[in-house]
A = this chain, B = another copy of it.
Amino acid sequence: MELTERKKKVLRSVVDLYIRTAEPVGSKAITELPDMKYSSATIRNEMAELTTMGYLEQPHTSAGRIPSAAGYRLYVDELMSDYRLSIDETRSISTAIEEKMQRVDKMVEKVAKLVSQATDLPAISVASRHGSATVKRFDLILAGQGSVILVVMLSSDEVVNKLIKLPVSVTETDTKLLGAVLNAAMTGLTADEFTAELLEKVMAAAGVAAALVPVIVDFTTDTLRRSGSTNMAVAGHSRLLGLPEYRDVDKAQKVLSSIDEDALSNLPAVMMNEHGTKVLVGPENVAQELKDTSVVMTKFDIGDGMQGMIGVVGPTRMDYAKVTARLSYFAESLSKLFTKPETPQLPEAPHEDQ
C-alpha cells in the first residue's frame, strides 16, 4: 500500500497530538485541527489503513490510536517539522555554556545538568578519549621538607601531577638525574609497555631516588589508563517522574536504575561511530529495560583527542523535534567552545523566531 500525502499528514497529526497530550488520538480530534478538510469518517478510514500498515496502534477497540515504533521512526525521519529555537532558547543555552568549564570531569557533570534543564528530561553527558595515551614528558619539582611534585605531560597535552612525600631526603641533583632517566626511558610508551624489566632498568639508573620510581610508575600507569577511559554523568533523574507514562513506579524505576548503572555505558560505544544526532525509538534500544523509552544523542568535539556526547532519555512520546533541535544547538555550541577555548565563539541562532 502506498503512503499518500494525506496519510502522511494524518500520521504526523496523530504523532504531534499524542506527543502533546499523551492520550490516544481519535478521529474527531484530527478533524478539529486547522486545515483538515475531511470528515471524521474519512480520517477513520485513513487511520484504519495506517494501523494495518503498522504505523499506528490501538490500545483497545474503542480507543483512539497511538503511534507505533515504526510510526515514530517515520515521523522522526521524514515527517516532523523542524523545531525552530527561539532567540530566548538560544540565548539561555548560550549563556549557560559560556560559564567557564574548567576540568573535563566537572564539565561533564555541568553539561549533563544543563542539558537536562534545557530538555526537561534526564540527560547523559559523556567525554571520552580515543586512542591510547603516552607520556610526553616528566618533570620533578623539589618542594621543600622532603616532598617532590611529579608533573606528567601526556601525549594529549593533558597535564597531571602528584605530590610524593619522601621516605628519604633527596637533593636537586638527584631529582634532575631521575627526571632525565624517566624522560629517556619512559616517554612515548603506552601503559601496557611499562614492563617489569623496564621498571628495574629505570630503578638501576635512578641512583639515590630509586625509591621514588615505583610510586611514579604506578601513578603514571594509572593516569594513562584513566586518560583513555570514559567520563560520564547523568542528571535530572527526577524529571522522568513528571511524565504521565512514568506514573507507574515500576517502569520509572527500571529506566532510572538502568541509566544509573551500566546499561548506558555501552551506549557511548554504539554512538561513537555515528555522526550527527541519533534517535533511538523504544524497541530500537538494545537494553531490554528501555523498550518503552527513547534515547536521543548527539556527538560533539572537545579537542585534545577527546570526544563528547550528550543525550536524553524519555518516553517514546517525546517531543523529538524540540529535543533534537536543542541537543544539536548544545553540541554545536560546545564544539565551538572547546575547539576555540580562548575566545568562546558560540554559533549563531539558527534564526530568530517571531
List residues of chain A with CB under 8 Å of any chain B CB. Answer: 100, 102, 105-106, 137, 139, 141, 143-144, 147, 149, 151, 153, 157-163, 222, 226, 235-239, 241-242, 246-247, 249, 252-253, 256-257, 260
Contact = CB atoms under 8 A, between A and B. Distances in A.
Considering residues A238, A242, A260, which has the most beta carbons from chain B within 10 angstroms of its beta carbon? Answer: A238
Nearest to A247: B249
Contacts of A106: 105
A151 B147 CA distance: 14
A249 B238 contact: no
Given A100-B222, A157-B163, A238-B252, 7 more contacts: A139-B141, A139-B149, A158-B163, A238-B260, A239-B257, A246-B249, A252-B252
B222 A102 contact: yes
Contacts of A161: 151, 159-161
Nearest to A233: B109
A255 to B, nearest CB: 8
Nearest to A142: B139
A226 B137 CA distance: 28
Instruction: Count the copies.
Output: 2
Contact of A159 (B157, B162, B252): B162
Nearest to A103: B105
Nearest to A219: B102
Contact of A253 (B151, B162, B242): B242
12 contacts: A100-B222, A139-B141, A139-B149, A151-B151, A151-B161, A159-B161, A159-B163, A235-B260, A237-B256, A241-B249, A241-B253, A242-B253
A212 to B, nearest CB: 14
Contacts of A241: 249, 252-253, 256
Given A105-B105, A249-B249, A151 B157 contact: no
Contact of A238 (B157, B158, B226, B257): B257
Contacts of A249: 241, 246-247, 249, 252
Contacts of A260: 235-238
A222 B105 CA distance: 16
A151 B148 CA distance: 12
A110 to B, nearest CB: 12
9 tightest Cβ-Cβ pairs between the two chains A and B = A238-B256, A241-B253, A238-B257, A237-B237, A139-B141, A159-B161, A159-B163, A161-B161, A247-B249
Nearest to A241: B253
Contact of A153 (B137, B143, B239): B143
A149 B149 contact: no
A222 B103 CA distance: 12
Contacts of A242: 253
Contacts of A102: 222, 226
Contacts of A105: 105-106
A246 B158 CA distance: 45
Nearest to A259: B238
Contacts of A149: 139, 151, 153, 159
A213 B249 CA distance: 55
A158 B260 CA distance: 31
A139 B139 CA distance: 11
Given A222-B102, A241-B252, A151 B141 contact: yes
Contacts of A151: 141, 149, 151, 161
Contacts of A141: 139, 141, 151
